[in-house]
């Protein structure tokens, strides 16, 4: 009997690279080669690799208590919830371990709010084309992409899809069974598409008129990624719920649902839970992360440096023949190319020791650590200009 090459299931097509160390914007492989990491663990290491304040906090917590369950009070969990609500429009937080679980909890909360607080029999959540909400059965059913759902039939009932950024299609938004909408303001995995302001305004106004909950999936856009702590803050409305994960723990696994209090009250003891969710180590990582991000200088510097990056990018993308579009917000950036995006990503790694991501087949995705320096930005611009010149 032949043994597979790896005892790990092949759910990922991996790059031929083994990373063993990280610091700031850089990672090193098992041969000691250094790479500039503009993937940040897929938009997760927003403060760079091993940010000193987060590392120190986790090390300190390692010497205190690792885990105790949610049957007891957890100070770091309370403090993290305090800060998340202080710096957002929300009142209460539920903690999970991942993005998919945060969305799963938001979907459960939306249904339970409709069925117990509003006392209706509504259950349907409307989501949008090219979305990505996760890989559990509920969240892949919420994800309006064939390729994510293929082979996992039957889908979980209770989701309906509308085209993203389509004003006319909003005429069909509300049905008697509809209780919520869920969307990303910048679609990350789906190709770095931004919600248009006029479409968003109309969507919000219909939801308010018909009492539908607005759930914004900020798993990729949150924690400073778009230049503000949360992307909704740049759209002039307040969602009822947002979900977070990726950047929240600087690489330590954690997710969260933030909700307005009238919605949050639909969860009472024994209605939802998680053994690990909000555990002392994870919430210590989250607390140190947000504490760093709300320092007065942090977000203004992210905005200034990302604006600088955008100016340079616009300059080289205008001139590049193979580039079709440049889209994004802050440090969530997509460059749509004529050829295969993966070819650019492979060449950037091989020729320039620069790590990049794709979003779909034709979009190069750049999600650097928010702490990347102007010197690093200049290097990346030089490499991209060379890449575009040779393709």
Residues at the interface with ligand PLP (CB under 6 A): 98-100, 103, 132-134, 184, 188-189, 217, 219-220, 245-246
Nearer to ligand PLP, 195 or 377 (CB): 195
Nearer to ligand PLP, 99 or 320 (CB): 99
Distance of closest approach, residue 311 Cβ to ligand PLP, in angstroms = 26
Nearer to ligand PLP, 76 or 243 (CB): 243
Distance of closest approach, residue 139 Cβ to ligand PLP, in angstroms = 7
Distance of closest approach, residue 388 Cβ to ligand PLP, in angstroms = 26
Question: CB–CB of 139/96 below 8 Å?
Answer: no
Nearer to ligand PLP, 43 or 384 (CB): 43
Nearer to ligand PLP, 90 or 388 (CB): 90
Distance of closest approach, residue 189 Cβ to ligand PLP, in angstroms = 6
Nearer to ligand PLP, 44 or 362 (CB): 44
Question: CB–CB of 118/211 below 8 Å?
Answer: yes
Distance of closest approach, residue 186 Cβ to ligand PLP, in angstroms = 9
What values do phi and psi take at 97, rounded to 5?
Answer: -105, -10
Distance of closest approach, residue 275 Cβ to ligand PLP, in angstroms = 17
Distance of closest approach, residue 47 Cβ to ligand PLP, in angstroms = 18
Nearer to ligand PLP, 302 or 357 (CB): 357
Distance of closest approach, residue 336 Cβ to ligand PLP, in angstroms = 18
The residue of the chain with the least Cβ separation from ligand PLP equals 99
Nearer to ligand PLP, 128 or 344 (CB): 128
């Amino acid at each position: 009997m032949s043994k597979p090459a790896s005892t790990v299931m092949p759910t990922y097509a991996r790059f031929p690279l083994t990373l063993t160390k990280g610091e700031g914007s850089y990672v090193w492989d098992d041969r000691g080669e250094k790479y500039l990491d503009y993937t940040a663990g897929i938009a997760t290491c927003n403060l760079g690799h091993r940010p000193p304040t987060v590392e120190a906090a986790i090390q300190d917590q390692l010497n205190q208590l690792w885990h105790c369950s949610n049957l007891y009070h957890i100070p770091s969990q309370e403090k993290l919830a305090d800060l998340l609500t202080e710096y957002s429009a929300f009142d209460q937080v539920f903690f999970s371990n991942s993005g998919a679980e945060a969305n799963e909890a938001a979907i459960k909360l939306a249904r339970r709010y409709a069925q117990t607080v509003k006392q209706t029999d509504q259950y349907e959540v409307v989501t949008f084309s090219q979305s990505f909400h996760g890989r559990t059965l509920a969240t892949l059913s919420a994800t309006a992409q064939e390729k994510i759902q293929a082979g996992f039939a039957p889908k979980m009932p209770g989701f309906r899809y509308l085209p993203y950024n389509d004003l006319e299609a909003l005429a069909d938004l509300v049905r008697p069974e509809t209780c919520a909408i869920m969307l990303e303001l910048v679609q990350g995995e789906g190709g770095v598409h931004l919600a248009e302001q006029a479409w968003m305004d109309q969507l919000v106004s219909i939801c308010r008129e018909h009492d539908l909950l607005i759930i914004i999936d900020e798993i990729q856009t949150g924690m400073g990624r778009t230049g503000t702590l949360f992307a909704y803050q740049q759209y002039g409305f307040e969602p009822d719920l947002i979900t977070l994960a990726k950047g929240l723990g600087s690489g330590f696994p954690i997710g969260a649902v933030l909700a307005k209090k009238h919605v949050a009250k639909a969860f009472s003891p024994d209605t939802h839970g998680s053994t690990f969710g909000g555990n002392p180590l994870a919430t210590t990582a989250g607390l140190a992360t947000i504490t760093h991000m709300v320092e007065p200088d942090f977000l203004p510097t992210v905005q200034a440096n990302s604006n600088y990056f955008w100016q340079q990018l616009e300059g080289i993308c205008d001139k590049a023949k193979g580039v079709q579009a440049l889209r994004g917000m802050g440090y969530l950036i997509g460059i749509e190319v004529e050829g295969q995006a993966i070819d650019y990503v492979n060449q950037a790694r091989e020729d320039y020791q620069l790590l990049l991501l794709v979003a779909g087949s034709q979009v190069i995705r750049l999600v650097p650590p928010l702490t990347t320096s102007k010197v690093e930005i200049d290097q990346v611009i030089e490499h991209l200009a060379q890449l575009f010149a040779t393709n």
